[in-house]
């Protein structure tokens, strides 16, 4: 037994919404906190649309869809997380913002054994644990997008995470959520992004240098290497702003050129070309409400 029966999520973007959904589909009551009432309404709609898509595709019965929806509450008050056994932070990939969330959670969540987890892609967990008075309860629990589909979770204990916390978190993720776990060291990028991000940045540099079009790069990797999605379409899915933030964190930690964000990536972020969530990145997308993901519609 993990003792985790009530889950909280901070942030209801694509990642937070997906985490809330998989927890509710596992039969757990989930309270999700957003920054304001409008964002809470948008987050709730995002979760409902995802459940509806799963039902329409035959992946989820109507009864299970309704049961999951009834277990999710989206609010705009952090105090609503006071009784949670596990809270997962899933806000934007900004270290200061995440640290502010953990400072607040430390004050709000009352249970001495409550697990405080971060879904960060690249921020060292020790920096977030260090702003709390209970670093032994803090670790990384990094899901992958789309959360309801991808089975992997990176479990990232920091130097101060207790063995009990890591064991409870792993048992919860594998037993209750049915995911697969890899243990990752607490270093920028962990395992997956430390390997993935240089590959994505290399694709951006190829476009930047005129070596190939975005469409041809993606077609080449899908048809020539059997990748399910090309690197630039994947960058669009992740979000160009998020990709740049991860790259900056990796470069700050290791000072290796392969982690440095290419100028083209930075210019696109500054222009608001963020990928699927903005309707345009390296490819263009049919715009859907509330930032829902769309289907690639051709090259940039």
Owner of token pair 């263009």: 284
Between CA 68 and CA 146 the distance in angstroms is 17
- Among 151, 183, 215, the domain-final residue is 183
Is the pLDDT confidence value at 81 over 50? yes
To the nearest whole percent, how much of the chain has pLDDT over 90?
A: 92
- Per-residue pLDDT tens over the stretch 216-255: 999 999 999 999 999 999 999 999 999 999 999 999 999 9
Q: Are 250 and 194 in contact (CB under 8 A)?
A: yes
To the nearest whole percent, how much of the chain has pLDDT over 70?
A: 95
Among the options 42, 50, 119, 121, which is catalytic?
Answer: 121
C-alpha 238: how far from its chain's center? Answer: 9
Is the pLDDT confidence value at 277 over 70? yes
pLDDT, average across residues 1-10: 91
- 63 labelled catalytic: no
- Whether residue 174 sits in one domain with residue 197: no
- Whether residue 204 sits in one domain with residue 144: no
- Among 150, 183, 216, the domain-final residue is 183
- Whether residue 158 sits in one domain with residue 95: yes
Among the options 119, 137, 193, 249, which is catalytic?
Answer: 193
How many other CB atoms are there within 10 angstroms of residue 219's CB atom? 15
**Is residue 245 within a helix (H) or strand (E), and if so which, with residue range?**
helix 240-254
- Per-residue pLDDT tens over the stretch 100-145: 999 999 999 999 999 999 999 889 999 999 999 999 999 999 999 8
Q: Write the CATH number for 244.
A: 1.10.1040.10
Between CA 59 and CA 61 the distance in angstroms is 7
How many other CB atoms are there within 10 angstroms of residue 193's CB atom? 24
The pLDDT value recorded for residue 1 is: 59
- Whether residue 232 sits in one domain with residue 176: no
- Per-residue pLDDT tens over the stretch 28-72: 999 999 999 999 999 999 999 999 999 999 999 999 999 999 999
Structural domain contains residue 188 = no
- 249 labelled catalytic: no
- Whether residue 204 sits in one domain with residue 159: no
- Whether residue 253 sits in one domain with residue 164: no
287 falls in which pLDDT band (50, 70, 90)? low
Phi, psi of 140 (to 5 degrees): -90, 135
Dig out the tokens for 169 from the structure: 């978190």
The pLDDT value recorded for residue 293 is: 37
Q: Are 160 and 135 in contact (CB under 8 A)?
A: yes
- Whether residue 176 sits in one domain with residue 244: no
- Among 183, 206, 233, the domain-final residue is 183
- Whether residue 157 sits in one domain with residue 100: yes
Between CA 4 and CA 21 the distance in angstroms is 16
Among the options 34, 89, 137, 142, which is catalytic?
Answer: 142
263 falls in which pLDDT band (50, 70, 90)? very high
Nearest to 87, CA basis, from 75, 74, 70, 102: 102
Is the pLDDT confidence value at 298 over 70? no
- Whether residue 203 sits in one domain with residue 175: no
Is the pLDDT confidence value at 300 over 50? no
DSSP string, 149-179: T--EEEEEE-TT--HHHHHHHHHIIIIIS--
The pLDDT value recorded for residue 2 is: 77
What domain range is 286 assigned to? 193-299
- Whether residue 154 sits in one domain with residue 43: yes
- 213 labelled catalytic: no
Among the options 154, 170, 215, 292, which is catalytic?
Answer: 154
Dig out the tokens for 198 from the structure: 């240089």
Dig out the tokens for 76 from the structure: 């705009």
The pLDDT value recorded for residue 256 is: 97
- Whether residue 128 sits in one domain with residue 205: no
Residues 6+ apart with CB under 8 A from 54: 60, 65, 148
Residues 6+ apart with CB under 8 A from 57: none
Q: Write the CATH number for 161.
A: 3.40.50.720
Domain count, the chain: 2
List the beta bridge partners of residue 196. none
- 154 labelled catalytic: yes
- Whether residue 93 sits in one domain with residue 52: yes
């Amino acid at each position: 037994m993990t003792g985790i029966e009530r889950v909280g999520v901070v942030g209801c973007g694509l990642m937070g919404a997906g985490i809330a959904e998989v927890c509710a589909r596992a039969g757990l009551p989930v309270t999700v906190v957003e920054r304001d009432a409008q964002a809470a309404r948008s987050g709730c709609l995002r979760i409902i649309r995802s459940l509806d898509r799963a039902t329409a595709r035959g992946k989820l019965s109507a009864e299970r869809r309704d049961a999951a929806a009834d277990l999710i509450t989206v609010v705009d008050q952090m105090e609503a997380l006071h009784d949670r056994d596990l809270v997962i932070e899933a806000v934007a990939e900004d270290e200061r913002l995440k640290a502010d969330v953990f400072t607040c959670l430390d004050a709000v969540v009352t249970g001495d054994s409550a697990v405080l987890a971060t879904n960060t892609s690249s921020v060292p967990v020790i920096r977030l644990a260090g702003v709390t008075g209970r670093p032994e309860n803090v670790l990384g629990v990094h899901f992958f997008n789309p959360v309801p589909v991808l089975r992997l979770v990176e479990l990232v204990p920091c130097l101060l995470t207790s063995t009990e916390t890591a064991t409870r978190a792993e048992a919860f993720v594998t037993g209750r959520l049915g995911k697969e776990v890899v243990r990752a060291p607490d270093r920028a990028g962990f395992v997956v992004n430390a390997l993935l991000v240089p590959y994505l940045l290399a694709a951006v540099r190829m476009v930047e240098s005129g070596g190939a079009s975005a469409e041809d790069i993606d077609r080449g990797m899908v048809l020539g290497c059997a990748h399910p999605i090309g690197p630039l379409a994947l960058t669009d899915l992740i979000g160009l702003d998020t990709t740049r933030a991860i790259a900056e964190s990796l470069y700050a930690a290791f000072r290796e050129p392969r982690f440095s964000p290419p100028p083209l990536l930075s210019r696109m972020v500054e222009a608001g070309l963020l990928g699927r969530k903005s309707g345009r990145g390296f490819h263009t997308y049919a715009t859907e409400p509330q930032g829902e993901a769309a289907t690639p519609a051709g090259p940039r």
